[in-house]
Amino acid sequence: MPDQEIINGLIATYRELNHRVRGDAKDLSGDAHEALVSTLRRLRDRELRASQAIKRILVGDAVDEDDEAPLTETEFAESMSNSPNVLLSQFGTAREATLAMVRDLPDEEWNKVVQTPRGQMSLRDYLKTLVDRDRQKLEEIDGLLKARA
């Protein structure tokens, strides 16, 4: 049975981002806007990589790519033109793919342990790190919004 607290945390991130980006952050400009775009880009890129890592965990393969790894120059150049709303939408699509993979898994899949760049982890532990790191990024965005006020 899936860990509902983790599932709820994964869902909450997108809801909270949507509220902040389409609401409070829509009027950011200059350095604050660039910082928001950078944070959203990192969230999106991490989620895309995490989705691939979860697929590997589910088949019992080691996860050798760090989901926080910096972008290649090409990836970076391609992502620079994205607006906050586009990045948010891409993050949401990737997060839904993650949720679709894990929401109905049995406990033995949630407890499966593989090697990751962060050491031995179960799928449950890996997803918990996503939720925790999401919280950190939301705090960064909150800091941008408070600095603007």
Strand partners, 120: 115
* pLDDT tens digits for range 9-61: 999 999 999 998 888 777 788 888 888 988 998 999 999 889 988 998 888 88
Question: Which has the minimum average pLDDT: 24-28, 122-126, 130-134?
Answer: 24-28
* Host domain of residue 123: 4-148
Total number of domains constituting the chain: 1
User: What pLDDT shows up at residue 70?
Assistant: 66
- For residue 97, pLDDT over 80 is answered with yes
CATH of the domain at 131: 1.20.120.450
Q: What is the DSSP letter of 122?
A: E
Model pTM? 0.86
Cα–Cα distance for residue pair 30/28, rounded to 1 Å = 7
